[in-house]
Chains A and B, each alone.
Chain A
Amino acid sequence: MTEYVIIGDGISGSSAAETLREEDPESSITVITDEGEPLYNRILIKEHAKGKLPEAPISIHDEGWYEERDIDLSLNTHVTGLDTDAKTIHTHEGADISYDKLLIATGGTPTQLPVDNSDADGIHHFWTFQDARKIRESADAADEGVIVGAGLLGIDFAAVCGAQGVEGKYLMRGDRWWRYALSNEGAEIMHEGMREKGVEPVFDSGVDHFETDDDGRVVAAVDPNGDRYECDFAGVAIGLTFNTEFLGDIGLEQENGILVDEYMQTNLEDVYAAGDITRFHDVLLGERAQNGSWGSAKEQGRVAGVNMAADDEAEGFQWVSSYSITHFDFPFLSFGHPTLGDDYAERKYSDTEWRRVAFKDGKIVGGVLIGDLSPQSKFKQLMREQRVVADQKEVLLEQTVDLDNLAPPQEQ
Chain B
Amino acid sequence: MATSSTTSRSLTLRRVESVDAATTVQHVDQLDEETLEAFYRALEGGRSLAATGTDLELGTVVVATDYYRVEPR
Contact = CB atoms under 8 A, between A and B. Distances in A.
Interface in A312-368: 322-324, 326-331
Interface in B11-50: 18-25, 27-30, 33-34, 36-37, 40-41, 44
A44 B29 CA distance: 10
Main secondary structure, interface of B, reads: mixed
Interface centre among A54, A57, A327, A328 (most CB of B within 10 A): A57
Interface string A74-101: 0000000000000000000000000000
Contacts of B22: 56
Interface string A30-45: 0000000000010110
A295 B25 contact: no
A382 interface: no
A47 B17 CA distance: 13
A322 B28 CA distance: 10
A268 interface: no
B33 A43 contact: no
Interface stretch (A173-181, A220-228, A373-381, A388-396): A373-381
Contacts, number: 65
Interface residues of B, number: 24
B58 interface: no
Given A374-B44, A376-B36, A294 B29 contact: yes
Given A56-B21, A57-B25, A295-B29, A326 B65 contact: yes
Contacts of A329: 65
Contacts of A293: 29
Given A43-B29, A322-B29, A331 B21 contact: no
A294 B27 contact: yes
Interface residues of A, number: 28
Given A55-B21, A56-B22, A43 B30 contact: yes
Contacts of B30: 41, 43, 294-295
A380 B33 contact: yes
A41 B65 CA distance: 18
A41 B63 CA distance: 12
Nearest to B62: A326
Contacts of A376: 36-37
B49 to A, nearest CB: 15
Contacts of A61: none
A54 B36 contact: no
A44 B28 CA distance: 10
Of the listed residues A294, A295, A329, the one surrounded by the most CB atoms of chain B closer than 10 A to its CB is A295
Given A54-B20, A373-B40, A377-B37, A44 B25 contact: yes
B27 A43 contact: yes
Nearest to B40: A373
B25 A58 contact: yes
Interface of B: 18-25, 27-30, 33-34, 36-37, 40-41, 44, 61, 63-65, 67
> A-B pairs with the 3 shortest C-beta distances?
A56-B21, A57-B25, A43-B27
Given A41-B30, A54-B20, A324-B28, 14 more contacts: A41-B27, A43-B27, A44-B27, A52-B18, A57-B19, A57-B21, A57-B23, A322-B36, A326-B27, A326-B63, A326-B65, A328-B65, A331-B40, A376-B37
